[in-house]
Amino acid sequence: MLCNNCVLSTEDDSSLTLDDCGICNYCNEYKLEHSNKIPQSIEKIIAKIQQDGKNNTHNCIIGVSGGVDSTYLTYKAHQYGLKPLLIHYDNGWNSSEAVQNINKLVEKFNFDLFTYVNDWQEFKDIQLAFMKASVIDIELVTDHALVAILLKEARRRKIKHLLTGHNSASEAILPKSWYHWKNDSLNIRAIHKKFGSLPMKTYPYLSFWENYIIEKRKLVNNVHLLNVIDYNKEDAKKLMISEIGWKDYGGKHFESIFTRFYQGYILPVKFGVDKRKAHLSTLINSGQISREDALEELKNPPYKKEILDEDKQYVLKKLNISEKEFQDIMNLPVKKHTDYPSFFNKHYKWSKMLGKKFGDEFYFDK
Ligand SMILES: [Zn+2]
């Protein structure tokens, strides 16, 4: 059954429920959260960042991916006179457009850029381990590392503020069964140990306790700046194209070729998940698209056939697996993340308490 307000249905997610009016829990949660929102003063936030970093070369960190959210965020940081250190996590899957976008951004504003390059053989080993484990959130490998590197660098350089590209205007809704908790470092280690073969050396791994201490002692402050300002993605794209020559490459998070293949092929074919539905449902709730237009857009396939074939060849070659090996992975029965050691089972008592606190905190524009 389809929600009367968005484009998600009960078949999409086991935790989706419809109320008497046929509205889903995600739409209701969105409405509740946004009606209770206290407007924050952007001037106060900027003043605090400047005050805390007055003796530092940089007063904040921005994780950049080449995508529109982080590009626009950097543009706003420049407008507000901030001195950000741009950090890019390179896991080996960048599209050339993403790299060009980052280069243009750095040239335009002359900000410092720190790129952390993960050893490719090692990253590949962890990523393949997740594929062989047959769990849904293969992107956990990248998302965890990205947060880890941002927090580690913030601590090392004594920078207090982390500007995130998280924005509820375009990414508030994500069905719970479509992803796993990004801080489940135990799950990453366990899956890698079982299915991987190389030691974990350069992967930016953040243990649960490192994370907990940073959070508990408020060592790094996450600033969701795009939530404070009025953020419209389409307007931002147009502005970035004209201001810095930013290049649009289609879908959300398509700056990584693996992400494009994962969202456009692995997720829908193996797990029956069309991630566009979550994105479009958020846009409906934030008033940026009509439900009719969203339903119309979903009639298009998630992937253009020519790009799919090209990406598939690229991904298989880069992962060094044959068509048969890939097909075997696709045919494996789907497993839950918690079928492997995880904070949600091994340390259940306190993870339930702490997980609630950490669970949905970290979303970054990749
Ligand atoms: Zn809904």
Q: How far is the CA of 8 from the centre of ligand 1 (A)?
A: 6
CA–centroid distance, 259 to ligand 1, in Å, is 25
Q: How far is the CA of 82 from the centre of ligand 1 (A)?
A: 38
With b for 16 or more beta-carbon neighbours within 10 A and e for fewer, the 256-270 pattern comes to bbbbbbbbbbbbbeb
pLDDT at site 354: 55
Residue 250 confidence (pLDDT): 67
Q: How many residues does the chain have?
A: 366
Distance CA 239, CA 97 (A): 17
pLDDT tens digits, residue range 221-244? Answer: 999 999 888 888 889 999 999 999
Contact (CB, 8 A) for 302 and 264: yes
CA–CA distance, 51 with 49 (Å, rounded to integer): 6
User: What is the 240 CA–ligand 1 centroid distance (Å)?
Assistant: 31
Q: Ligand 1: distance of its center to the CA of 290 in Å?
A: 13
User: Do residues 145 and 207 lie in contact, with contact meaning Cβ atoms separated by under 8 Å?
Assistant: no
pTM of this prediction? 0.90
How far is it, in rounded angstroms, from Cα 115 to Cα 88?
Answer: 5
What is the rounded distance in angstroms from the CA atom of residue 255 to the CA atom of residue 121?
A: 21
pLDDT of residue 366: 23
221 Cα to the center of ligand 1, angstroms: 31
Centre of ligand 1 from the C-alpha of residue 18, in Å: 8
Max Cα–Cα distance, the chain, nearest Å = 57
pLDDT tens-digit readout, 187-233:
999 999 999 999 999 999 998 889 889 988 999 999 999 988 888 88
Taking 50 as the pLDDT cut, the residues of the chain under it are 358-366
How much is the pLDDT for 233? Answer: 86
What is the reported pLDDT for 248?
Answer: 87
- Helix/strand/coil for 87: strand
Distance in Å, CA 251 to ligand 1 centroid = 21
